[in-house]
Amino acid sequence: MENSALSRWLSRAFGGPLLYIDLLAAVLVIVGSVASWYFNVRGTVGLLLWLAPLTVLVTSIVVGFFYATMSLLSGDASGLAVARIEPGVTRTAQPNIRFLGWETTEAQLTAIENGEARVSGTPWLTRVTFANEPDVSSSGLTAYKVSGHIEFYDAARDRFLFGMVGQWSDGLGDGTVAVGEKQIDIPPDATPCYLNIALKYDEDDECYGINHDTAVRAPVDLRDQQRKLGHGLYTLKIMVHGENVAETFWFGLINRGSGQRVRILRISA
């Protein structure tokens, strides 16, 4: 009977604030009846001592019956609708974007000369990795149209430096950093998805924020001067948004200057 319709109806009819009203009214009926008899109170006053709380008690019970019936009917109808739309997926199941880690990988820049492609540089690309790992395994929990909005602050988060829509990239099998997407669909199978953060040359003290429009803003070497970060510590705020997805992650970005790669550190909000 624990999950039966009757048990749910009774819990709603006599649960919550209505239960306290019922108990209080019942006590007042008993007290009023005893008081009118003990003190020999007659007439209208004696009647009101027990009739007024009795009226409250009956009204509360009627309201509880009506609320429980309507609540149960509307709840059952809602449950049937969800079951028809998404069989096998609970109403609370949704995509779950998790941070997997970060990495710095060597990327090749290519240039076209005389109709032939040649390597024009090999900077380091720093990126963070996310995956969709829902608590309930289901093919219906793909995270659709996911984008990553990145904001750069100083170390104390007192000063906003710049922001950009992040660039998703693949495993860089071809070594090209200019190829990427603003939005991607992330399947619920823990497939790693890479979000580009910064580009840095070994000989530079500075690193540069990189995304899908960097190749237009700085086509020669991807050194975007408006997204330049000097030697030091910075704070990153990455907001991952999509259908049924809204997650915010905070990171520290460490640029240690020439001869050093950019590092990422996960921090709390």
Question: Please, what is the end-to-end C-alpha distance for the chain in angstroms?
Answer: 45
pLDDT value of residue 152: 98
Task: Tell me if 234 sits within 8 A of 222, measured CB to CB.
Answer: no
| pLDDT tens readout for residues 88-142 | 444 467 899 999 999 999 887 765 556 565 566 789 999 999 999 988 766 678 9
- Give me the half-sphere count of Cα atoms (radius 13 Å) on the Cβ side of residue 42: 1
Please, which pLDDT band fits residue 66 given cuts at 50, 70 and 90?
low
| pLDDT tens readout for residues 21-31 | 777 767 776 87
User: pTM surpassing 0.85?
Assistant: no
Please count the other Cβ atoms lying within 10 Å of the Cβ belonging to residue 158: 8
